[in-house]
Amino acid sequence: MKQSHLKSIRIVLKAILLFALFNYGFALIPDSALWKLSVYNNVLEGRPRFAQEDDLNLLFNTHELASSGKYPNQYKVLVLGDSSTWGYLLNPEETFSGLINSANLKTCHEELVHVYNLGYPKLSLFKDLILLQEAMKYEPNLIIWMITLNSTLREEEQHPMVNQNPELAQELIDKYDLEIRLNSFDEPSFQQKTFLARRNEIARFVQYQLDGIRWQSVGEEGHKKYDPIGLDVEASDDFGGLPPPTLDPHLIQFDVLQAGTLLAGDVPVVMVNEPIQIVTGQNKEIRYNKNYPRWAYDQYRELVNTQVEENQWKYVDIWDLLPPTEFTDSAVHRTPAGEEMVAEEISKLILESACP
């Protein structure tokens, strides 16, 4: 009986020791390694647009871009932008990226064009720069950067993705001398990297694999009920508390746009000023829409054009492409019909860039 009791104690002690080794050994595994085990881009197809998460390993290892190396004869186009690029209130196949992909465009060199939608909800150029830094390892042929006035403004509070990746963010700030200040952050301790400390992260990993199986079978549904934006605006020329008549050029993050062109190296970057709603109802002479008074938006376009000429950036302005009825719940979110019109313009841009 005594020997049996001692044996049981030894088994328990061994189990505790093995778990301790596993728990602390897990701290040596980099965050990226876990997502290399993902079923996405292996058993399942990658997602055509980002999940709404701030973890770069999750975002890229579940996205179809991660398997783009399987297609050597592909003209690879990366599209950066905000929720209108991501396709808010739309299914993936209804976005301009999805529409272009379904058209099976080919360049003059017989390369099949594929647009990788790297749009991510919320307005932030610096967030786009972080995504571009990660995406460059996939060797794109062309980068299209969708911008609008609100996305180019300097941010009082940084995007959650920036706060989630402070080391990468600080590296970009230092490398390109950006006028951005981060919130203070501490390096995670060894204890915070253990299995027990990261169990929520592991549970999320497992949940995403299960969700992937469901998504593969039923697809991603983006349609939701919304209140149409309408065609009337208030009789106010206010722009986020900024009074007319002058928009301070320093408010626009031209340093971040320049950093994007430098980061891309020899890969062409085309900036596209995306369509906005131009209302036709009450107070249309004061505001273009609920987002932008005319004085601020007109000056933004002038400032951008000046920087484009000075820096010789590639730039396309399609701000007034759509009728005001082709927007959904905001002055930048588009209807499916609006996306078709944008897809037509972006298709031309891609083919001209591929075969200048």
- Which pLDDT does position 29 carry in this prediction? 64
265-295: per-residue pLDDT in tens? 999 999 999 999 999 999 999 999 999 999 9
Q: How far is the C-alpha of 111 from the C-alpha of 113, rounded, in Å?
A: 6
- Which pLDDT does position 85 carry in this prediction? 98
- Which pLDDT does position 157 carry in this prediction? 80
DSSP 242: B
**b/e sequence 89-109, b meaning 16+ C-beta within 10 Å:** bbbbbbbbbbbbbeeebebee
- Which pLDDT does position 151 carry in this prediction? 96
- Which pLDDT does position 238 carry in this prediction? 94
pLDDT of 22 strictly over 60: no
Confidence bin at 187 (pLDDT 50/70/90): low
Q: Pick from 10-14, 46-50, 242-246, 257-261 the range whose average pLDDT is largest.
A: 257-261
Confidence bin at 202 (pLDDT 50/70/90): confident
Confidence bin at 12 (pLDDT 50/70/90): low
- Which pLDDT does position 40 carry in this prediction? 87
pLDDT (average), residues 226-246: 92
CA atoms within 13 A on the CB side of 210: 6
23-32: per-residue pLDDT in tens? 556 556 666 6
Q: Pick from 18-22, 91-95, 165-169, 221-225 the range whose average pLDDT is largest.
A: 91-95
Residue 74, SS3? Answer: strand
pLDDT of 149 strictly over 80: yes
What ranges in 1-144 are assigned the alpha helix state H? 2-25, 31-35, 56-62, 83-86, 96-102, 125-135
The residues, ordered by sequence, that sit 6+ positions from 312 with a Cβ below 8 Å of its Cβ are none
- Which is more confident, 157 or 152? 152
pLDDT (average), residues 237-257: 94
Confidence bin at 204 (pLDDT 50/70/90): confident
Asked whether 119 and 83 are in contact (CB, 8 A), the reply is yes
Strand 314-317 and strand 269-273: the pairing is parallel
pLDDT (average), residues 36-47: 85
320-355: per-residue pLDDT in tens? 999 999 999 999 999 999 999 999 999 999 999 999
Q: How far is the C-alpha of 274 from the C-alpha of 336, rounded, in Å?
A: 15
Q: How far is the C-alpha of 269 from the C-alpha of 325, rounded, in Å?
A: 30
Q: Could you tell me the residue ranges of all domains in the chain?
A: 73-179+222-354
- Which pLDDT does position 5 carry in this prediction? 67
pLDDT (average), residues 14-19: 69
Predicted TM-score (pTM) of the model is 0.90
DSSP 46: P
- Which pLDDT does position 150 carry in this prediction? 97
Confidence bin at 46 (pLDDT 50/70/90): very high
The architecture of the domain spanning 73-179+222-354 is 3-Layer(aba) Sandwich (3.40)
Helix axes 294-311, 254-264, angle to 10 degrees: 40
- Which pLDDT does position 265 carry in this prediction? 97
pLDDT of 36 strictly over 80: no
Q: How many helices (H) and strands (E) does the chain have?
A: 13, 5
Considering all CA atoms of the chain, what is the largest pairwise distance in Å, rounded to the nearest integer? Answer: 93
